[in-house]
Chain A
Amino acid sequence: EAGVAQSPRYKIIEKRQSVAFWCNPISGHATLYWYQQILGQGPKLLIQFQNNGVVDDSQLPKDRFSAERLKGVDSTLKIQPAKLEDSAVYLCASSLSPGQQETQYFGPGTRLLVL
């Protein structure tokens, strides 16, 4: 079974530029998550989708971050404009369905460096 796919793996941009990350979840997984992992910290949830609807985006800085999952499968996370503090690893995860007992499976992440 293929895992969660993410691209690109690495990205270097200058502040105020824009960047987009792509995620393809495990086939059949209805729930998709984007996490931000700053160096030295644990991942923090940015946004959760159930199919193509947003379940939780309370921690997403909406003035600069946006995300979509138009067809309920793959997803794109965008930052515009980027700030220095956005330097982090952006992890995508998916689970078969929502619920406390479900396991979230993570992709390899996209490492972003903002200069």
Chain B
Amino acid sequence: AQSVAQPEDQVNVAEGNPLTVKCTYSVSGNPYLFWYVQYPNRGLQFLLKYITGDNLVKGSYGFEAEFNKSQTSFHLKKPSALVSDSALYFCAVRDSYNTDKLIFGTGTRLQVFP
């Protein structure tokens, strides 16, 4: 069965430090992976996606993600965290059977301290 795991409920990082939010996946066939961010009382905002090609994907607001096929991971990264990055982050994978359906992880809350 297709699934996404976000092993950390919360990640704490000091402003200016690099951040990583972890995501691993399980799919049959080629993975199509997405990261979304959710601010309080707002919907999901698209950050970036991996479809094919370069394993390092660059997205909005200075975020990037590294696709690692052997480890079935798609970790979200940013070189220097901002307090305003504090939010809930969701990793998602496209369903191999219904190619439009997104399967989401449970989310990771990122807290950036000044």
Contact = CB atoms under 8 A, between A and B. Distances in A.
Interface of A: 4, 6, 9, 31, 33, 40-45, 48, 55-56, 91, 93, 95, 98-109, 111
Interface in B91-109: 92, 94, 98-107
**How big is chain B's contact interface, by range?**
20 to 34
Contact of B100 (A4, A43, A48, A107): A48
B113 interface: no
Given A91-B43, A100-B51, A103-B34, A42 B100 contact: no
B94 to A, nearest CB: 5
Contacts of B45: 106
Interface of B: 4, 32, 34, 36, 41-46, 49, 51, 90, 92, 94, 98-107
B99 A107 contact: no
Given A42-B104, A42-B107, A44-B104, A100 B99 contact: yes
